[in-house]
Amino acid sequence: MLRSAILMASENRLLRRAMERSRAGRIVTRRFVAGNTLQEAVDAVQTLQTQRMLSSLDNLGESVSNNEEAAAATDAYLESVGAIAHSRLPASVSLKLTQLGLDLSTELCRQNLMRIVRQATPAGIRVEVDMEASPYVERTLDLVEEAHRAGGLVRAVIQAYLHRSEADIHRLNRAEIPVRLCKGAYKEGPGVAIVQKPDVDANFQRLASVLLREGVQAAIASHDEAMIQSALQVVSAHNIPPTQFEFQMLYGIGRHLQQRLAQQGYAVRIYIPYGQAWYPYLMRRMAERPANLLFIARNLLR
């Protein structure tokens, strides 16, 4: 109930504008967002690097409303790819196709995505294409497949809560496209998604097993100890080398778990959001754990 209300608020454009412009808003994002600038995100990558962790840079933004905004988002990604290559950072980039214009035109989005992939691939930088709400899934997978066929270093994302996800994992495994498996963060109905959390968790464990055994460069994206332990059991039962998979977690969430896994020698990649368009991202983090609202309220009252 509360989760749905928070996710609905995340789509409110007026609230979004007011929050993103407010000083208080900037203060409360600090735990989950590395900063407003690329330099602050690079600093975060370098700090994590000293703790033997990898990163993925997310220049925040989604659902742009015109071609200029889509071009600006593309340029921002080209800049982050340039910074990663220049400083030889252990980082990929993560982007959303609605940020590159998917709502405006698939062709425009394809061109923007390919510009980024063409610059990133020769530098060995992977482009991870986040998965958004269910109406975007098919077009997103099509574009990831196209970029992969063109020789691009890409990664697709699969959400364990969607009924279609098992078939999608097999499709991506067949094409040898690396996949990030997450539970799913959007408001979806029972027609397309599993609604009970224990059932989502069970499906995550099942899909993680398929991905680890049959996929390439599997990425297990969760802060849930039970998901991680179950993945590690599959790894041990099938002698999967640590070079063939990684754990992924969000900046500022599950920090002890991140450090523990890295210290144990597993590859751990931290998804680092930065930039000014942080409101929808923050609201999804609130919806996952409404207790975060207390953290926000305390900071606002300070």
Ligand X SMILES: Cc1cc2nc3c(=O)[nH]c(=O)nc-3n(C[C@H](O)[C@H](O)[C@H](O)COP(=O)(O)OP(=O)(O)OC[C@H]3O[C@@H](n4cnc5c(N)ncnc54)[C@H](O)[C@@H]3O)c2cc1C
Residues that bind ligand X (CB under 6 A): 130-131, 157, 159, 182-186, 221-224, 227, 248-250, 253-254, 271, 285, 288-289, 292
Which of the residues 16, 126, 155, 180 is marked catalytic?
180
Q: Which is nearer to ligand X, 43 or 288 (CB)?
A: 288
User: Closest CB to ligand X among 205 and 248?
Assistant: 248
DSSP per residue over 211-245, as a string? Answer: HHHHSSSEEEE---HHHHHHHHHHHHHTT--GGGE
180 catalytic residue (yes or no):
yes
Catalytic position from the list 58, 103, 130, 201: 130
- The smaller minimum CB distance to ligand X, of residues 21 and 167, is found at 167
The residue (of 110 and 155) whose beta carbon lies closer to ligand X is 155
Residue in the structure block whose two tokens are 């340039």: 82
Residue 40: CB minimum distance to ligand X, A:
19
Give 5 or 86: the residue with its C-beta nearer to ligand X. Answer: 5
Centre a 10 Å sphere on the Cβ of residue 230 and count the other Cβ atoms it contains: 20
Could you give the CA distance from residue 127 to residue 153 in angstroms, rounded to a whole number? 6
CB nearer to ligand X: give 239 or 256: 256
Nearest of 255, 290, 217, 299 to residue 6 by alpha carbon: 290
CA nearest neighbour of 125 among 88, 171, 71, 177: 88
Distance CA 192, CA 161 (A): 8
Whole-number Å distance between alpha carbons of 255 and 253: 6
* Phi and psi at residue 51, to the nearest 5°: -100, 20
169: number of CA atoms within 13 Å, CB side? Answer: 28
CB of 7 to ligand X, least distance (A): 11
Find the shortest distance in angstroms from Cβ 77 to ligand X. Answer: 16
The amino acid present at 143, given as its one-letter code, is: L
- Calculate the alpha carbon distances from 279 to 12, 25, 194, 205, 262 in Å: 10, 9, 26, 30, 30
To the nearest whole angstrom, how small is the minimum distance from the Cβ of residue 294 to ligand X?
A: 11
Annotated catalytic residue 16: no
Interatomic CA distance for residues 123 and 162, integer angstroms: 34
d(CA 44, CA 55): 9
* Least spacing, CB of residue 239 vs ligand X, in Å: 25
Catalytic annotation, residues: 130, 180
